[in-house]
Amino acid sequence: MENALLEAHGLHKRFGALEAVRNVSLSLRPGEVLAFLGKNGAGKTTTVKILSSLLLPDRGEVRLLGKDPFKDPWALRHLGAVLEGNRNVYWRLTPLENLVYFGVARGLCLASARKRALALLEEYGLLEKAQVEVRHLSRGMQQKLALLQALIHDPEVLLLDEPTLGLDVETALLVQEKVRALARAGKALLLTTHQLEVAEALADRVAIIHRGEVVLVEDKERLLARFAGNHYVLELESSPPPAVLARLRALGVEGEGPFLFRGDGEALWQVLEALRPLPLRRVARAEADLLEVFLKVVGHA
Amino acid sequence: MLELFLVEFWRNLLSLRRYPMELLGGVVTLSLIFYLLFLGARFLAGPGAEFGGRLEAVLVGYLLWTFTLFAYNSLSFGLMEESQTGTLEQVFLTPYGPIPLFLVRNLAGLFTQGILVFLIALVLMALTGARLSFAPLVVLPFLAVLLGGYGLGFAMGALALLYKRIGQLLGLSQFLLLFLLQAPGGFPFSLLPLAPGAALARGMLAEGAPLEAKALLLAFLNGLLYLALGLFLFRKAVGRAKRLGLLHGY
Ligand SMILES: Nc1ncnc2c1ncn2[C@@H]1O[C@H](COP(=O)(O)OP(=O)(O)OP(=O)(O)O)[C@@H](O)[C@H]1O
Ligand SMILES: [Mg+2]
């Protein structure tokens, strides 16, 4: 875990009888995107709030560039966050005013806050709305502004709780592109989302939290390779006669529309033998996606 | 910190320019309240009644009250609104720390509140015919009162942070402020928040009493003490809110 920008060790948080977060340890290194996944109520937002020092853990510690943000708030200079279910910005101010305000509140001086605000608005295509009060902006624009608000002081660590929620396709893609660019520029990003395809597209590493416990943290590529294993997908031109189907089942073939076979390449030949001479449409090695991984992990945890 | 002050000040001016009706509404309501009381008093006293210097003293007391009122409740209203709309957590992400930020906010709000009180003073002087001549030195006990007002404001802010809906309590306790501002200057009363500074200011304005150094010192000590107490309570409340996860609304 050398030179991690954000580190958390053994976080515990209990709300009354509910243990919302149990023994969570995470680290974010420069240049990486960590997808933080979990079902509703799994403890993602709670963890994000602890990491951003808005919620005090019962146990455990957070280090932001080596400093404890609970004791030394100046460490927050290096953190930006989009918080879930919040407006994150002032409705009665314009995007430009919001960014200047938050820029200064995060430690920039007025002149550089303004300069950076204009540059960001330009970059994210919000310049023409720079002078319109936020309450008159569309939801997607507000969400985009929430992201800019987290970026205004150019922090090293970004915690994004559902940043693509409610964005249209184009804007979501823009945000994804920007997230990649930020990671390339050496920022460390944590991203929670229920859109697993977004996570799959962006993540370098994946962490899955289930009932307050991190049940998996792994490099994304390795994770997908591990879960792909020896699975094959078979599709036929028409449904097989019952006798063939019975033989397939005996060989352990699952599924209906596309059939799924778990086994190695040799065993696959037995399946193909059983299917002969029915016309095949497709035989392919199954690729795992994050959705499948996710369902398996939280299903078995 | 200076930059933070400037940006908070700028934010105040923006909302003043963008929503002038809120300021005007405040001026009208607060002027009207006093004017109706004034009319009522004149009606009771009968036609041709002369208030003499009393009117001026009462008016000064009233203006002081409105000023203190803002110091007292603007933090709480801000906290309640921001936790509901969901900007409070972002505000708490400031590296300056929430308490310095709210102190600076209070300071930056003084100017707009000053404008408001000034407008109320103009309106009421025109309506009632009162003549206020400000001895510039009155500003000093005024400041002492404001310090105490902010202290009480932080104490209420602590409640607002933890319990959110304290609008009713704020409304009722405004009258407690009125009592504190009208309390006599002597010993047991001078321990109450706001009282010694207010008594000093009243004496200077209504009776033309000179500014007594000892009384002023006492007023400032009182103001600082209650400010420190308010900040202490607020600090505790921030810690508790962070433990219980109360910074967001609903
Ligand atoms: N301030 C609080 N007081 C009491 N319980 C809370 C508080 N905040 C969160 N919880 C509870 O903690 C659990 C975890 O909530 P959390 O918001 O972290 O989930 P999440 O993973 O972000 O879910 P979602 O995907 O729905 O956003 C939930 O059961 C929630 O009800
Ligand atoms: Mg959440």
Model pLDDT, residue A42? 92
**Adjacent-strand bridge partners of B218:** none
Residue B28 maps to a domain: yes
Q: Which long-range contacts (CB under 8 A, 24 or more apart) does B180-188 make?
A: B181/B61, B181/B64, B181/B65, B181/B68, B181/B145, B182/B61, B185/B215
**Domains in chain A, ordered, with CATH?**
6-224 (3.40.50.300), 229-300 (3.30.70)
Instruction: Assess whether pLDDT exceeds 60 at residue A142.
Output: yes
**8 Å CB contact of A46 and B245:** yes
Token pair 């009060």 is found at A133
Backbone φ and ψ for A188, nearest 5 degrees, come out as -105, 125
Residue B249 maps to a domain: no
Instruction: Share the mean pLDDT of chain A.
Output: 90
Query: Measured from the CA of A47, which atom of ligand 1 is nearest?
Result: 18
pTM of the model: 0.86
Query: Measured from the CA of A85, which atom of ligand 1 is nearest?
Result: 27
Region A239-257: mean pLDDT is 86
Region A188-208: mean pLDDT is 92
User: Rounded to the nearest whole angstrom, what is the distance from the C-alpha of residue B82 to the centroid of ligand 2?
Assistant: 20
Instruction: Share the mean pLDDT of chain B.
Output: 88
Q: Quote the minimal CA–CA distance from B234 to chain A in Å.
A: 16
Region B145-152: mean pLDDT is 94
Residue whose C-alpha is closest to residue B222's, from B189, B245, B244 = B189
How deeply is A223 buried, as exposed, middle or buried, from its count of CB atoms within 10 A (0-12, 13-18, 19+)?
Answer: buried
| Residue B176: band (very low, low, confident or very high) from pLDDT cuts 50, 70, 90 | confident
Q: Is B131 helix (H, G, I), strand (E, B) or coil?
A: coil
Instruction: Assess whether pLDDT exceeds 70 at residue B47.
Output: no
Give, in order, the Cα–Cα distances in Å from A139 to each of A94, A147, A160, A171.
14, 13, 17, 11
The single-letter DSSP state of residue B135 is: -
Model pLDDT, residue B146? 93
Residues of A in contact with B248 (CB under 8 A): 83, 85-86
Which residues approach ligand 1 with their CB closer than 6 A? A 15, 18, 20, 38, 40-46, 84; B 245
**Adjacent-strand bridge partners of A160:** A82, A191
CA atoms within 13 A of residue A87's CA, in its CB half-sphere: 21
Residue B166 maps to a domain: yes
Region B117-140: mean pLDDT is 84
Residue B250 maps to a domain: no
Region A73-95: mean pLDDT is 91
The number of distinct structural domains making up chain B is 1
Model pLDDT, residue A1? 45
Tokens of B43: 């009606």
Residue B58 maps to a domain: yes
Residue B231 maps to a domain: yes
CB A74 within 8 A of CB A106: no
Residues of A in contact with B6 (CB under 8 A): 104, 110
Domain that residue B92 falls in: 2-244
